[in-house]
Amino acid sequence: MRANTWAGRNKVEVRDVPDPKILNSRDAIVRITSTAICGSDLHLVDGYVPTMQDGDVLGHEFMGEVIEVGSGVPGDRLRVGDRVVVPFPISCGACAACAAELYSCCENTNPNAGIAEKMFGHPVAGIFGYSHLTGGFAGGQAQYARVPFADVGPLKIEADLTDEQVLFLSDILPTGYMGAEMCDIQPSDVVAVWGAGPVGQFAMDSARVLGAAKVIAIDKEPYRLRMAEQAGHVPVNFDEVDVRSRLLELTGGRGPDKCIDAVGLEATHGSAHIGAYDRIKQAVRSETERPHALRQAIMSCRSGGVVSVIGVYGGFLDKFPAGAWMNRSLTLRTGQCHVQRYMKPLLGRIERGELDPTRIITHTLPLDEAARGFDIFKNKQDDCEKIVLKP
């Protein structure tokens, strides 16, 4: 089959690789009809997440048709011919984490748990196409994928909805939603979202659906801010204004009640000096993160507010504003999305028209043009927000 693979730092390559096979009894093989390039793929491609290998198949947002199931998959759960969206965390459904609906912390699905434990203290779930730290599972930017624990994760799509309407249930829509849900939004809340990329846009839409009074979008790309504004959110361009001052002005001096970091470890910064400090440290690998967005969110949030982190971090950061966090009674909530928890309720919201995931798609390319897609997405060419690949 054809598959998009990691070929070294800043290089991806569509190659011929073997077709996937059933390795465990609860596996299914899915013929992929749509897949996407995610912002977190860029952290892998840029080389900031360790343990990538030449030839790793990328991609963790995908959907398609089940063409084979293992002997351990009950027929009432999944059959050949079913149309499914596959969640990015691989979860067993049986461990204590899964019992608590903390699916991205599944205790059984990472065969490289020993490596993850050294990095994170405790291991995390296996993730498709997302380094050997998260299990070494082949990803979904391919014609076919092996899906372990296929009786637990994949969501059957029986309604008459397009791929584009449901594909993002695999990751970025639930991720954005969880970012807003972790904020415990009250009707009077002003919610500020750092990052107007795909996850940020969905966090904004979700904050509004959950009842926020005002939603603020922080980014520096005019086209992303326009996209947020068209969806009814208030744009703030950090290249043009001082973010904290503007946020105070928009909130009567209080600061946003709830702040969402939808940026993560490769943030860019309005201040050249602080930006250079982190870039240099990251370039020599003496820090794995550039946490500008997180720092700014903590400094800007109103006292007693919530800072919700859904941007991806990989290792250790420095200059964390612990003083502001502690002295001003802030709550920090985080997590890789527990996708399985949100898929069904969000499918309902899509069907009822409360959320329109298709609004962020700017590009659709054949799988063979994945490398060009990564280039366009990474360099924000051609007003690119989100790319869907068609194998």
Q: What is the binding site for another protein (CB under 8 A)?
A: 1, 3, 5, 17-21, 23-26, 53-57, 72, 92, 94-96, 99, 107-115, 126, 129, 132, 135-139, 146, 148-149
The least CB distance from residue 94 to another protein, in Å, is 4
Say whether 288 sits in a helix, a strand or coil: coil
CA dist., res. 345 & res. 350, Å (int): 9
Q: How far is the CB of 92 from another protein (least distance, A)?
A: 5
Angle at 260 between CA 185 and CA 205, to 5 degrees: 65
d(CA 293, CA 129): 26
Q: Name the residue nearer to another protein (CB basis): 3 or 193.
A: 3
C-beta of 112 vs 331, nearer to another protein: 112
Task: Report the nearest approach of another protein to the CB of residue 204 (Å).
Answer: 33
Residue with smaller CB distance to another protein, 101 or 354: 101
Q: Residue 340 phi/psi, 5° resolution?
A: -55, -30
Specify the residue, 20 or 357, whose C-beta has the smaller distance to another protein: 20
347 HSE (CA, 13 A, CB side): 22
Sign of the alpha-carbon dihedral angle for 212, 234, 199, 183: negative
Residue 310 C-beta: closest distance to another protein, Å = 24
Rounded to an integer, what distance in angstroms lies between the CA atom of residue 72 and that of residue 134? 24
Query: In whole angstroms, how close is the CB of 137 to another protein at the nearest point?
Result: 5
Return the C-alpha torsion angle 19, 23, 25, 31, nearest 10: -20
Nearer to another protein, 52 or 262 (CB): 52
